[in-house]
Structure 1
């Protein structure tokens, strides 16, 4: 095996002891925009050794044992930040989250749901890749019972938020059918962690190069912006057209059925080539 990441990168885990892995611990941060509930959750999670160990275990199964892409602390942090930004851009266009529509809660509560679901969506990988979405539910249930009472002292409110988070987690699986804006946002954000950094481990292991790793290596950056024809524009920068595979075969599947199709347009720009492709029409159902 060849670990081609910087030794300080939390994804660079091959052959390390638990203590060594923790010595390169990643710190979570997300623009809270003055949301005290999100700020307190991030503070708690940054101090939670068990939670970090679960993310490490998920990545050991994904990267070291199955030679897949990153599913650990770097991945969930990226998904959390992408999902939080996507939620805010869609809400700014007047779309209301499920907890607001159905329970009279606030947009800040919707952010709590999205942050927690993003961070917990892959914890089932600590058990096994197969059916990891279902495994994530009962691992997340355990952690949510620890985290939520401090933020939501009323047991009924905590139970509602817990249910919304679990719904968003199961909605990210293949064929998942999100019923809320929050769940759709997490599903799409998971697919948007497609830039080349996520493929660097598997690209460095002899014999594991595939269209998945090659296409991911072609993605330079992903940006979420206010849209032109739709409320949200996802702008993807590529070094070559191999990256189109990520959009046509992987991202498209996650966007389909997410509930976000009416709100998202996608633009893929290939740097250094006279090649520009608007792929948003491919996602109109």
Structure 2
């Protein structure tokens, strides 16, 4: 029989869920101030865990949905937070959750989460698919992932994740979180990042599928020049008129460069059909 979570019998973090519970009150307050819930917004917290961040969010938010995968935490979270009139709990896998169900006309979703490393990248792309309903996202991630999200061309961390997330979102690296802020303490540093989906993309690709293929090919062999990396997409003679220098490596190109190159490749591929 499973025992309820009480101060004397706390829930133990589970490795299979990638759980590391946030316990540093100063960091919790800093995250809540960064999110700064306002009237007329719908907050969504992914992976509330033991409710450390849920508490200040529930106190300030008009509407707060929390999504928790761990069934053992659900009854405890309900008891602790059901006193808040705008609180709703969903026992679900965030990777499969339909976030459009939570949106309301004129009320943007604001998403917050301490994301396990093993699902952070697919979950970010899942959430980006709801960009039209999302105002911003604040995530606690492994610091190395935040470096990749916020990287600029020419930096070592700049890669496929960087380009595709920055195509859709403005990325802001807010602050770092040391391992001692968690129980159990992870072996890596963490950081808070803010992603703000563009509601008018600064650079619009003609075909996003072509852009995705291009970025995957370019960074799949990042030590090679673009001319060598793009052989899977184009014939050598098709590369001469491209709008970027194919003698460069992928990490030298900006998001705008990738979009221009994607559009040129898309035109060449359509001409061959």
TM-score, with normalisation over the residues of structure 2?
Answer: 0.32
- If each structure's helix is expressed as a fraction of its own residues, which one has the higher value? 1
- Report which of the two structures shows the higher radius of gyration computed on alpha carbons: 2
Higher percent of residues as strand: 2
TM-score by length of 1: 0.31
